[in-house]
Structure 1
């Protein structure tokens, strides 16, 4: 991995992690476009730089994390379903991470769903994610399980799940941001454990790449979160739905025509 590739992937991660467009899917497409081999370090890098984006949520919503322990308990409850399934099907999920076609198909399917979300759930009653129950938290966690399929989007699945529980778009998006913290932290820890267990180590340059990726991801994610909340509040999900459909169809077209995705 070069420094240029690390910067590009970090920008992609920061821009897409909290948007309903699938950060994992975009990372897979990004590595394919740059002709990167799915080496153990590349796979690790795409997961561990999420730590920088986690920090962006902590910085932007610093005060929210000191309200009550119940808030943390609800996040834990919501994190349970995807955590259990992720551990049980880790190897299968890893195999899907190498499939741009899977990503493209799920981008289109998810995009079609986002075109209608605003009409399906247009009578929200909860404008503060602190007010949801444990049962609602668990149901949102069940929706998050859909994101185990690359291209689905953890953000999209949890926001839609929250909207089914009568949260406003803004409250649903914020709960999705908070829920990302235990999920991404857990994924990073598991990936690091697996990396070292298989006998891999970091070179000095790889440590620098990880630091660079996390710093850039942190900065870009702060900008992306603020922009996303404004867009979501004003325009809803349609713009993200059409974006997903267009990107997915372009990738499918390239794959079916036998064209290489590599640009660099």
Structure 2
């Protein structure tokens, strides 16, 4: 059991870092799973890959609670925050496209969760990051309240591209936001908020499917899931703080280069696996 817990800690670290940086958590997980494999059922492993994200979501809620909670207390009375309600409306609008394509999620994972697809998406979006930053587009939107419903919906359309393994949900939305003229800090923060309904919904769906599968969880598997979520939460807190500080001083070109290199590594591992 100790070894399985150590594996969960490693998975939580990778999830906490890669979920928020635009470098594809799937790309890293597919490599990590070559080295680290749980002694658990395939149904549990499939569920674990998604539900571990709950720890990452909790980090967003904790860090940005004041910006996300739509109520406050003023002069001893409960008040409402119109700006927060407006933000949540934009988040909902951006989430609608994901809801439409969500039934395809399992099919896409079954057909495209492989080395070639992941590597191709890593490299493609790596090139996109470099090209978008190289064009030096002017920033029109620097604050969340300036994002229109139309822009929120378009960012939501970009988010649907993350259904392809290796794309990176944050990577797709950041590219889309930059093309719309959002500042790096603004699009990064909006991306964090978009993760809450999307990842919470995906986790709930996976848990429901696991429950309906009739496969029970062992005590070790429960511990693995709990540890993975807790570690993902702690690491996500640091990763989110890092990214928000980074984008104030740098652009996303480094992440583009990193994605391209990682994509080539994935292809190399695929070739070595095929030959071996």
What range describes the TM-score normalised by the shorter chain of this pair?
Answer: over 0.9
What CA deviation, in whole Å up to 9, does each residue of 1:122-160 have, x standing for no partner?
211211122211111110000001111011110011111
Please name the residue that 1:245 is paired with. 260
Please name the residue that 1:30 is paired with. 32
Please name the residue that 1:3 is paired with. 5
3-state SS, counterpart of residue 249 of structure 2: helix
Task: Give the structure-1-normalised TM-score.
Answer: 0.92
Please name the residue that 2:43 is paired with. 40
Change in 2 beyond 3 A, CA 1:26/1:97: farther
Q: Which moved more, 1:174-183 or 1:112-121?
A: 112-121
What RMSD in Å do the two structures reach over aligned CA positions?
1.9
Q: Which moved more, 1:10-19 or 1:36-45?
A: 36-45
Change in 2 beyond 3 A, CA 1:190/1:242: same
Aligned pairs (5 A) from 1:220-259: 220-258=235-273
Please name the residue that 2:96 is paired with. 80
Q: Is the 8 A contact 1:129 1:167 kept in 2?
A: no
Please name the residue that 1:59 is paired with. 62
Please name the residue that 2:222 is paired with. 207
Q: Which moved more, 1:144-153 or 1:113-122?
A: 113-122
Q: Which moved more, 1:33-42 or 1:219-228?
A: 33-42
3-state SS, counterpart of residue 235 of structure 1: coil
3-state SS, counterpart of residue 142 of structure 2: coil
Q: Which moved more, 1:182-191 or 1:128-137?
A: 128-137
Name the CA distance, whole Å, in 1 between partners of 2:111 and 2:188.
26
Q: Which moved more, 1:216-225 or 1:2-11?
A: 2-11
Question: 1:178 Cα shift?
Answer: 0.4
- Bigger Cα Rg: 2
Question: 1:24 Cα shift?
Answer: 2.2
Structure 2 stretches of 5 or more lacking a match? 71-80
Q: Is the 8 A contact 2:132 2:179 kept in 1?
A: no
Task: Give the structure-2-normalised TM-score.
Answer: 0.88
Question: 1:96 Cα shift?
Answer: 4.1
